[in-house]
Amino acid sequence: MKSVEEKRVYMLLKSVIFHYHGLDEEEKNDLDKTADSLDAHEEYKWAQEFIAQDYLTSFERARDFLNDIIADYPKEKRIELINMVWQANNLKGYVTEMEATAMLKLAKDWNVQKELIELVLK
């Protein structure tokens, strides 16, 4: 069972990456399924409101928020999170350059760039 903080991290991370280029229907469905599977509907709503506060700065604000929390996570957990976002982005069969750049920034922040590159090469 995930804590409220972990659910917020998951929902914000997925939401902000998906919104980076504009949310499409498939991505919205994936977010709905994630909220269902984690029992995280409140956290999903919170993430949507976080992004809506100022869409243009939402990625940088989310990055600051996530870095404060994820800095304390063990490396395996940081890798799991970056992997989750990579897999979710691959659902549509491709990852845009903007999404890849966003994920690389987060991986660098969390000191898991090498692991993200290994995922990409698989």
d(CA 121, CA 112): 15
pLDDT tens digits, 22-81 = 788 888 999 999 999 999 999 999 999 999 999 999 999 999 999 999 988 999 999 999
pLDDT tens digits, 73-113 = 999 999 999 998 888 888 778 888 888 888 999 999 999 99
What is the pLDDT at residue 97?
A: 85
> Helix H segments across the chain?
4-19, 25-38, 41-53, 58-70, 75-90, 97-109, 113-121
Apex 6 CA angle, 42 and 106, nearest 5:
115
Quick count: other Cβ atoms within 10 Å of Cβ 64?
11
- Predicted TM-score (pTM) of this structure: 0.88
d(CA 91, CA 83): 13
